[in-house]
Structure 1
């Protein structure tokens, strides 16, 4: 069941309060799950039960996405604001320095949390920030096209398309290697989430200059990339490994940009293998 929590952000404008949605399950050491741009916490549901057998799993909607409030007016959606904000969210939930797993934007945020000491291990699935300028432009163009398509379709048309495997491929084939495996209800929900994401444009604008160029020493880090990622090409994983020499670089065969649905068992195993290295 989704709940909400309010917390205070230290921003360039001074302290500001916002509210985020989250789901929590399991017991043990905390494990925080961060989704990608335009998505929502439900992206993690294919792996949550497996992870919750060993950890206190917290999946959150990032500010301006899913059911979370947008950031207060004037607060930037940049890396230096969002990563500490997630740390403040963890504190509000009674959790300090969790294991963090993230996908795409969430993977970039997970790495930043590791860099600044807010994570005890990091698993980054196709993280943003290791692109060339041409690759970034390609990805941003694709993301804007996906959002425009989601916004142009009437809700009834989305529901109709989601009933067939071909329709689910049309709606979500850019991010999944096996979109036909998604349930119709899930595809409808994530199409709506993309269309209604209030933080989408601000996040893209802030991401235009983002390059992750720092090492993340002193904790286990895994970079994992889907072999069929069509949004952030897998050669970016090699750049990530050069940037973070101590990281494991793992290939996810047959997986797309959002691999949790394409191969839940493999993704869960990669995350669990990483967390156990911190013990």
Structure 2
């Protein structure tokens, strides 16, 4: 069955890296990260999850479960000729990346504030933040553009995602909001999120990174991730929110490359991943 997942590609001479965004988002959510990775030599793919961005909704037998979403990504990788790429995921995309790490379908997994580790009493916070953004997205586009031009509004509207939401550009704020409005995959994943628990093991080198000011999936959930994934590398990201790729893209790239290098033979320096001139 052919993959219908939409993606962007920055060709590079090094190993392939696939970037997977979170619920209601789109591949552009990675901001500067794809270009920064490509500048370091990597072959970079950023995908739109099914029912998000420009990817259509899945049709049977595909669906929105973590297993099905992971299988759809595996088919995309196969169609692109990618043999076990490195995968990077944020939030919902982090849960998908961990599913791929569980089956060994990828070489490494680097996940930022992955879903699947929150206790039940955190659900009201998660639901309130996601629903506020979702229902707010239905305001007329002209209203969004007018409000997004105000730094105070960007701080209020995106505070659950970023530590510094006022630095989001007006165009990105509007486009992200309209994308959230159109994302047919939002509601199926929102419903599944109430019972999502990642309790599996991982078969490949895995890094779990958490922003210390995450207001959506709270930093305390990182302790649960440490307990359930004792073999993974766990990292705290200072001055970063739920989507650290916006707050500190260079730090995110450094964490990704460190994770990738843990899978590389120590005696063979990987040229992809060196800084230019390094």
State whether TM-score is above 0.5.
yes
The Cα RMSD (Å) is 1.4
Partner residue in 1 for 2:56:
69
Q: Following the alignment from structure 1 to structure 2, what is the Cα–Cα distance between the partners of residues 273 and 84?
A: 26
Pairing 1:1-279 to 2, within 5 Å after superposition: 8=1, 19-27=4-12, 28-53=14-39, 54-72=41-59, 75-151=62-138, 153-217=139-203, 219-279=204-264
Q: Provide the rounded CA distance (Å) in 2 between the counterparts of 1:197 and 1:183.
A: 21
Deviation at 1:45, TM superposition (A): 2.3
Q: Distance in 2 between matches of 1:130 and 1:252?
A: 17
Greater fraction of residues in strand: 1
- Residue 226 of structure 1: how far off its partner (Å): 0.5
> Is the CA contact 2:5–2:73 (under 8 Å) kept in the aligned structure 1?
no
TM-score (norm 1): 0.90
TM-superposed CA distance for 1:252, in Å, is 0.8
Larger RCO: Structure 1 or Structure 2 (Cα < 8 Å, ≥ 6 residues apart)?
2
Structure 1 runs of 4+ aligned residues shifted over 6 Å read none
Distance 1:84 1:35 in 2: 16
Count of residue correspondences: 262
Distance in structure 2 (CA, Å) of the matches to 1:271 and 1:137 = 31
| Separation of aligned partners in 2, 1:208 and 1:87 | 25
TM-superposed CA distance for 1:85, in Å, is 0.9
TM-score (norm 2): 0.90
Match of 1:4 in 2: none
Q: 1:260 to 1:244 in 2, by over 3 A?
A: same
Q: Is the 8 A contact 1:100 1:123 kept in 2?
A: yes
Which consecutive unaligned segments of at least 5 residues does structure 1 have? 1-7, 9-16
Does the 8 A contact of 2:212 with 2:238 survive in 1?
yes
Consecutive unaligned residues in structure 2, runs of 5 or more:
265-278
Structure 1 residue 150: deviation in Å?
Answer: 1.1
Structure 2 distance, partners of 1:136, 1:83, is 24
